[in-house]
A and B are shown apart, each in its own frame.
Chain A
Amino acid sequence: MNEIIQKVKNLSIGFKSKKGEEILILRNITTNIKKGETVGIVGESGSGKSTLALAMMGYVKHGLYTIGGECEFNSSNLLKMKNRDLEKIRGRKIAMIPQNAGQALTPNLKIGYQIDEALQLHSDLKEEKREQKISELLNKVRLPSPETIALRYPHELSGGQQQRVAVAMALAGTPDLLLLDEPTTGLDVTTQAHVLELLNFIAKDTGTSMVYVSHDLGAIAQVSDRIIVMYSGEIVLEGPSRDILKKPIHPYTYGLLKSIPKLSLAGLPQSMPGSQPQPGTMHRGCSFFDRCNFSEEKCKNNSPQLEYLEELKTSVRCFNYKSLMNDSQVNQTVNKIKTSLQDKEILNLSEVSISYAKQKLLDQVLNRISDDNPTVKDININIKKGETIALVGESGSGKSTILKSIAGLLRTKGGIIKFDQDRNLSSDLKERDPNDLRIIQLIFQNPDESLNPNHTVEEIIAQPLKLYFGLKGEELKKNIIDLLQKVRLGEFYMSRYPRQLSGGEKQRVAVARAFAAKPDIILCDEVTSALDVSVQAAVLNLLQQLKEDFGTTYIFVSHDLAVVRAISDRVAVLYQGRLCEVGPSKDVYQFPSHPYTEVLLGAVLEPDPDIKPKLVAEDIVEEKPPQKGCSFQGRCSRILGDICKNEVPPWQITNSGNSIRCHIPLKELQKDQIN
């Protein structure tokens, strides 16, 4: 256990700016990876965590170069090694599991070939033996029918399956050290929990050391023995996993843990102000100084050194860690959300069904949509004014599809969407009048793609003001400044382009643009998933504040159940385009609940090593909803029999007003779940 497998010594990596300045991405990193241990490297985007992981394989990205220090493996420095020698280490001694397996598997090569390639390079097996080994590996990562999977191309697999293939490929060379770069980001919650469980199993089974890089403290908490926290290219805290998560003695980690929404706590977490400094903008002092609640005068001009504390086996980079040591139990305080719920109904979806099926010519002529098994079916939801309702479910559950139909981007196949009791919004975007368009606004997941890169912030926010209200000149400008202030951005942001803003700032601009139309309803499509944790909390708080000020209604789509718990009044759980459960969020998160809700809740990863995910159902992917019966029959672990396969389950209503659509009687649902 104490044998060191890789030593990183005083490593600095950076690039030359256009002015010729040396800009550091990694600053003087020193750490060791021991045999058999799993080290989690956590940090926000831009903290240098991926660069560090790649350097551990002797790989430095195009445009970056090693400024100093070394990565020592088997007493040789990988960063000075020739490519030919590195080829014998990469994949054989040190293997990588990439973030996005869908992108990291070569599209024109079959799965079997890509694994075979690793075997050819890193083992002496003969051809028949290799074929057998490929099946073994695919079996080990729990892929169904390995022989047929091997003959498929990467795009023919689901995201979870692709990730498993990447794991199998990494295991092909029986490496001593596995580097995992955000291996579960972008997967569904249930799939993520399964992949993590698999990785844990492999770590125990093979005794491989692992370096697990992630921004997600929840995932890190489940796998790592030791955690390294990075900020702005430096290690700010390093120590045993449990201590770091339970008693963080660095202000950044402390703040980070406080800003993560938890399943057990309703209400919005506290946000950390500011954002991580851009590489090259730091000159003197502690890099966390601007955002720190514990900072003193000396932090401004002196950078603290990483200090090793023998009694805690922890290294910390802070002058003031002692003040956190005494009181650092993360007692999370949340800002309780105020419901501005009114009795007035603002949006009513009744019997809505939506189909993606391609229309036959005859149907096109007759202007009707025929599909007996549409993607989304039987959606009945009443939304009250001032309410925040969340739609949750895995990918393919139809949550974004419903948003698109409400926005008018997708025609409904049947049913009625009614606004304010009298206006019919079942129509297409083209058929809606400008006012109907104004009352519903969208905020998208990725502000990089939803903001026009060639428009300044001023132009972006001006568009809805000009379009819906015909504002001009001074009045227009006044309104823009007003909106910017509402989203806590200063006037000077007006002349900036989206690329000059950070992720959080971009999302604020997108929020400002949505509010510029003075809408009644805002559709939020995964609005925080592309943001860092500390920024996420700030955006959620902002959305809540604006809602209280304007009385807006939010329809909030998210795969993150903890975020949904934090912000929503009501939750609707969807599976395969059918509703499973609808109810006030405090009740949905308690039992009894629909078996699918149970699966989702069980898979949530909390940043606490003591709370393990519960894996109730297999993470198989169903391509189409079943023709008849309950939508969840294919994966339900509590299936009753033929009744579930043949009959659509009835709605059952609990005492608290929570509706569950299941054949199992409420009492029994409750009984089993509590155990």
Chain B
Amino acid sequence: MPFLIIKRILLGLITLFIVSLITFVGTEILPGDACTTYLERQAFGEQLEACYRRLGLNVPAYERYVSWAVNAIQGDFGYSLSGEMPIKEVLGPRIKNSLVLASAAIFIGIPIALILGIVTALWRDKLPDVAISTVTIFAMTIPEFISATLLILIIAIWLEWLPGIVIVPTDVSFLELLPNIILPVIAIAMIMTAHMARMVRSSVIQVMASEYVQMAILKGVPYWKMVFKHVLPNALLPAINVVALTIAWLLGGVVVTEVVFNYPGLGRLVIESISNRDLPTVQALAIILASIYVSINLLADLITLMLNPRLKTLQIRK
């Protein structure tokens, strides 16, 4: 087991290394560089040279990669071009904002998804299932920019209950941010919950049809005890990986929603730095997003491994 964990962590690190290489090489191959972008029409002669020297672009690419990587491991991603401030400082509040948005969506969305999924599966083909399933299919199919726009129109403009777009500074305190995130959270949670509820539903239905559940019924196990002891632990195991992917997706920035609501999160930063050709920031974002995906998936695999007796003993035996 410890060997397995170490192996998985090493694999994750290798993935990150490859991602960093790809982004570095990608930004190298693209025509132009940070200085030409920054200086625009003045990008020639003495000024360009000075800029290269200042940003350290005058040394060979592999040297720059090594020094960038060494710094990045220590959390220093260099300077952003647009604001000329350390990327670390640009990223900090953005990550915090994205975390706030994601955790709100997770804490609301996942329990609701689980409950809806289980309810629809247990009352399969009955009224609760038909009603909830219809709604979830709607929520799944409406694109988030439409649902987000509708939410703004109805709740912010017609009813004037909540702010429609976020117009607070990036580094605002949590309490001030709170009313601003309600609409984005609803917009995200709708899609996410619907997807997960469908997944949980089909997983529970599959387990309910299994021979061991039939056996539990024939053994005289009361219905709810059967559901909690025999059905759910087995049905929710495959859900762990879906939940992990959803969390990673949320943390990585829900680009469309953030743009519609003008929310200062990671997703919007990605869009902004790409359109500004702020290559150092794009690099930093790529590596951070990749780390989020890798570590959350790693975590999910480990949890599955821990909870599934079948996998656990298999690993020990080998």
A-to-B contact residues, CB < 8 Å: 54, 57, 59, 62, 83-84, 86-92, 95-96, 98-100, 103-109, 117-118, 121-122, 153, 155-156, 166, 169, 173
Partner of A103, one of B211, B217, B234, B313: B211
Complex Cα–Cα for A62 and B222 (A): 18
Residue B216 at the A interface, CB < 8 A?
A: yes
Q: Which residues of B contact A83 (CB under 8 A)?
A: 223
Q: Are B217 and A59 in contact (CB under 8 A)?
A: yes
Q: Are A91 and B219 in contact (CB under 8 A)?
A: yes
Residues in B210-226 with C-beta less than 8 Å from chain A: 210-223
Q: Are A108 and B308 in contact (CB under 8 A)?
A: yes
Q: Are B219 and A121 in contact (CB under 8 A)?
A: yes
Q: Which residues of B contact A156 (CB under 8 A)?
A: 313
Partner of A91, one of B218, B223, B233: B218
Question: How far apart are A505's CB and chain B's nearest CB, in angstroms?
Answer: 27
Partner of B212, one of A95, A104, A122, A173: A104
Q: Are A121 and B220 in contact (CB under 8 A)?
A: yes
Q: Which residues of A contact B216 (CB under 8 A)?
A: 106
Q: Are A153 and B220 in contact (CB under 8 A)?
A: no
Q: Are A118 and B219 in contact (CB under 8 A)?
A: yes
Q: Which residues of B contact A108 (CB under 8 A)?
A: 233-234, 307-309
Residue B230 at the A interface, CB < 8 A?
A: yes
Complex Cα–Cα for A86 and B218 (A): 9
Residues in B87-103 with C-beta less than 8 Å from chain A: none
Q: Are B308 and A98 in contact (CB under 8 A)?
A: no
Q: Are B218 and A62 in contact (CB under 8 A)?
A: no
Complex Cα–Cα for A62 and B214 (A): 10
Q: Are B308 and A90 in contact (CB under 8 A)?
A: no
Q: Which residues of B contact A155 (CB under 8 A)?
A: 309-310, 313
Q: Are B219 and A90 in contact (CB under 8 A)?
A: yes
Q: Are A104 and B220 in contact (CB under 8 A)?
A: no
Residue B209 at the A interface, CB < 8 A?
A: yes
Q: Are A107 and B234 in contact (CB under 8 A)?
A: yes
Q: Are A121 and B221 in contact (CB under 8 A)?
A: yes
Residue B229 at the A interface, CB < 8 A?
A: yes
Question: How far apart are B209's CB and chain A's nearest CB, in angstroms?
Answer: 7
Q: Provided the pairs A87-B221, A107-B234, A108-B233 are in contact, do residues A153 and B215 lie with their beta carbons within 8 angstroms?
A: no
Query: Which of B217, B218, B230, B313: most chain A CB closer than 10 A?
Result: B218
Q: Which residues of B contact A104 (CB under 8 A)?
A: 211-212, 214-215
Q: Provided the pairs A104-B212, A107-B234, A153-B313 are in contact, do residues A57 and B218 lie with their beta carbons within 8 angstroms?
A: yes
Q: Mark B182-210, 1 if CB is under 8 A from A, else 0.
A: 00000000000000000000000000011
Instruction: Find the A residue at minimum CB distance from B237.
Output: A108
Complex Cα–Cα for A173 and B218 (A): 12
Q: Are A103 and B220 in contact (CB under 8 A)?
A: no
Residues in B292-318 with C-beta less than 8 Å from chain A: 307-310, 313
Q: Are B221 and A103 in contact (CB under 8 A)?
A: no
Sample (24) of A-B pairs whose CB atoms are under 8 Å apart: A59-B218, A87-B220, A87-B221, A89-B220, A90-B218, A91-B218, A91-B221, A95-B219, A96-B218, A96-B219, A98-B211, A104-B211, A104-B215, A105-B212, A106-B213, A106-B215, A106-B216, A106-B229, A117-B221, A117-B229, A118-B219, A118-B220, A156-B313, A169-B219
Assuming A57-B218, A90-B217, A153-B310, what are 12 further A-B pairs, CB within 8 angstroms? A62-B209, A87-B220, A89-B220, A90-B220, A103-B211, A104-B212, A106-B215, A106-B216, A107-B212, A108-B308, A109-B229, A155-B313
Query: Which of A92, A96, A107: most chain B CB closer than 10 A?
Result: A107
Q: Are A107 and B218 in contact (CB under 8 A)?
A: no
Complex Cα–Cα for A169 and B221 (A): 12
Complex Cα–Cα for A166 and B215 (A): 10
Q: Are A92 and B212 in contact (CB under 8 A)?
A: no
Question: How far apart are A329's CB and chain B's nearest CB, in angstroms?
Answer: 40
Instruction: Find the B residue at minimum CB distance from A110.
Output: B309
Residues in B243-294 with C-beta less than 8 Å from chain A: none
Partner of A87, one of B211, B213, B222, B230: B222
Q: Are B220 and A106 in contact (CB under 8 A)?
A: no
Instruction: Find the B residue at minimum CB distance from A62.
Output: B209
Q: Which residues of A contact B223 (CB under 8 A)?
A: 83
Q: Are A106 and B230 in contact (CB under 8 A)?
A: yes
Question: How far apart are B228's CB and chain A's nearest CB, in angstroms?
Answer: 12
Q: Which residues of A contact B308 (CB under 8 A)?
A: 108
Question: How far apart are A269's CB and chain B's nearest CB, in angstroms?
Answer: 33
Complex Cα–Cα for A383 and B310 (A): 42
Instruction: Find the A residue at minimum CB distance from B313.
Output: A156
Instruction: Find the A residue at minimum CB distance from B318.
Output: A358
Q: Which residues of A contact B214 (CB under 8 A)?
A: 59, 98, 104
Complex Cα–Cα for A83 and B226 (A): 13
Question: How far apart are B93's CB and chain A's nearest CB, in angstroms?
Answer: 43
Q: Are B218 and A103 in contact (CB under 8 A)?
A: no
Q: Which residues of A contact B219 (CB under 8 A)?
A: 90-91, 95-96, 117-118, 121, 169
Q: Which residues of B contact A103 (CB under 8 A)?
A: 210-212
Partner of B220, one of A92, A99, A107: A92
Q: Are A105 and B215 in contact (CB under 8 A)?
A: yes
Q: Which residues of B contact A98 (CB under 8 A)?
A: 211, 214-215, 218
Q: Provided the pairs A59-B217, A90-B217 are in contact, do residues A106 and B212 lie with their beta carbons within 8 angstroms?
A: yes
Q: Which residues of A contact B229 (CB under 8 A)?
A: 106, 109, 117
Instruction: Find the A residue at minimum CB distance from B229.
Output: A109
Q: Which residues of B contact A100 (CB under 8 A)?
A: 211
Q: Which residues of B contact A95 (CB under 8 A)?
A: 218-219
Question: How far apart are B237's CB and chain A's nearest CB, in angstroms?
Answer: 8
Q: Provided the pairs A103-B211, A103-B212, A106-B212 are in contact, do residues A88 and B217 lie with their beta carbons within 8 angstroms?
A: no
Q: Which residues of A contact B213 (CB under 8 A)?
A: 106
